[in-house]
Structure 1
């Protein structure tokens, strides 16, 4: 029995190590931030940090919506919902029993408080990211200078638009993950938030060379090979690199630096509402739908589930007008 227990303990530690290794970094970061928020709440309310009962969870969501942010403002309901879910995970990981009914009661309280906020005229959160539009895309591309940094800026924007990228997608690519193909370009990306799969997104060369993602990738790689050390052109090097004000490569881009680059480039071009890291993803869905592309084809290209509610919302930007039930009623 002792020998079995020892072996079981080793196996359990190995399993825990594997589980820890496969959790994405952005998910770990979300859990860590949520737990720090919970610690602030319990400290201000003089509650033990391991108190996971109904009363504390309901009080927590009310606090989140009222004053939970570090600046004393309340969180947007969507953010509060994410924090609550992450805190429940954190409590359970620390051996605290959190009953399903207690968590459900906290969510019902959150729903009721959210309705009250809406009735009082409060609209919190950034809302849906601004979608990339064709006209703005040309403006942004033309604002990129003929430098290594300018070619780098064009490449993740144009390729990302054509495979509906999130900010973490281009940041996670190696050079070998973006491959020229006899029929244009294949980008191998990891898709999904909780259940992962490798997806080969096929990007077709566009008729207009100015906004062609394949040409943008080719020009960027040529410029990188000419202006940077050979190591940055190796297959195992990051596909997209950071570049300082002197034109020197500083390393691979992170999701945050991708988001900052997208915002910076759109602001430089004078786009009315600056893009975010999610604008390329929203833009792909809405632009493809406008071109009459099938919802399944859009889902497969962007790595959405075929019945994704978020994808449906993005396509509704176009469908809400083209398929509007108010058309030709009389």
Structure 2
């Protein structure tokens, strides 16, 4: 035991550094003195607090849900929560695919992959070591079993969201009634398509985030999901007034203020509001209500395959590709990284038909 350790155990002074299981604080104290070690420890605490503050809520929710899945696995298998061994992680992957859901069925491979990754983060946050080799083996096991499921003809999960298209936008614009709800629905879909919105993005928009410009709308989309999703999207007037997102936005906002007062023009109010069956404004829309609204709106319009909350985002990339927009322009508008696999996957959907190697051969 070092003199410092003896001092801290036998007679801890007022300025003793906080206990750190890794011994890092003790090493700092031996190198720089107790007061400096305390300041370094406080800086570490600040860094942890900042990391927690800037982590998006949906990421926090995912970590919490995945940790509950890990807890259920450990409880059913009689394993300790804090042992991230190779065998435990592989068994976790197998269990998730075979029976992990609360209804006794297996998770879709994509969901199991998310839970595995988030659980590894949760274990590390709780001071446990998760080796790269153990995690990689669990991922390999999961991916191999997922391939076997495909070979046996089993399909799980919803798959990719169907991409919104221009014909669908026209059908939706025509089907929206001239009520406040109808005007909101029309503006929600048309603007969301043009800035490639996730369901969470129109839910997070404030009135002050959407500025009218001579050429259209400047939309400040701040999701915090990635560094690319903090962006200023430009939404131009459309030549076809029926599907013009700018005109739809202006009409909706004018009707909202006319029916419910000037307070809804304040920059701090929600851009898209919830409206009950009697026409009362219930506050801002949440991500789930946006998803339900897009589904309901597309059903009402008779769109062949019902859209989801992600269809607007997929649609911008797909339709942009069809019109010859390059990947840089599409990524900038939608807040994707220029080499995003998600974006390239959407663009590939268009290329598979429009730039097909078999086209015109016979």
Question: Within the alignment, does 1:201 sit opposite 2:201 as a pair?
Answer: no
Aligned to 2:298: 266
Q: What do the CA deviations read for 1:109-162 (whole angstroms, capped 9, x no partner)?
A: 011101111111111111110111222222222222211111111112100101
Which residue matches 1:79? 111
Is 2:51 the counterpart of 1:19? yes
- Counterpart Cα distance in 2 of 1:82 and 1:247: 40
Instruction: Tell me by how many angstroms 1:217 deviates.
Output: 0.6
Which residue in 2 is equivalent to 1:243?
A: 275
Return the offset for 1:177: 0.8
Aligned partner (choices 84, 102, 110) of residue 70 of structure 1: 102
> What does residue 265 of structure 2 align with?
233
CA contact (8 A) 2:224 2:230 kept: no
* Structure 2 residue 71 is the aligned partner of structure 1 residue 35: no
Q: Partner of 2:23 in structure 1?
A: none
The corresponding residue for 2:321 is 289
Higher relative contact order (CA 8 A, sep 6+): 1
Counterpart among 307, 312, 315 of residue 344 in structure 2: 312
Tell me if structure 1 keeps the 8 A contact 2:200–2:223.
no
Cα distance 1:211–1:277, how it changes in 2: closer, same or farther (>3 A)?
same
Task: Give yes or no for contact 2:204–2:223 (8 Å, CA) kept in 1.
Answer: no
Query: Which deviates further from its counterpart, 93-102 or 310-319?
Result: 310-319
Q: SS state of the match for residue 118, structure 2?
A: helix
- Map of 2:130 onto structure 1: 98
Partner Cα distance (1:166, 1:286) in 2: 15
Does residue 211 (structure 1) correspond to residue 243 (structure 2)? The answer is yes
On the 8 A contact 1:151/1:219 being kept in 2, the answer is yes
Map 1:38-187 to 2 at 5 A.
Answer: 38-187=70-219
Distance 1:98 1:194 in 2: 25
Q: Which runs of 5+ in 1 are unaligned?
A: none
The corresponding residue for 1:9 is 41
How many matched pairs? 330
Contact 1:290/1:318 (<8 A) preserved: yes
Cα RMSD after superposing both structures? 1.5
Cα drift, residue 290 of structure 1 = 1.4
TM-score by length of 2: 0.88
Aligned mates of 2:252, 2:59 — CA distance in 1? 31
SS in 1 for 2:219: strand
More displaced stretch, 44-53 vs 265-274: 265-274
Question: What TM-score, normalized to structure 1?
Answer: 0.96
What SS does the corresponding residue of 1:157 show, helix, strand or coil?
helix
Distance 1:164 1:255, change over 3 A: same
Please give the alpha-carbon distance, in whole angstroms, between the structure 1 residues aligned to 2:144 and 2:229.
37
1:197 deviation in Å?
5.2
* 50-59 vs 248-257, greater mean Cα deviation: 248-257
In 2, the alpha carbon distance for the partners of 1:192 and 1:297 equals: 20
Residues in 1 aligned to 2:227 and 2:239: alpha-carbon distance in whole angstroms: 36
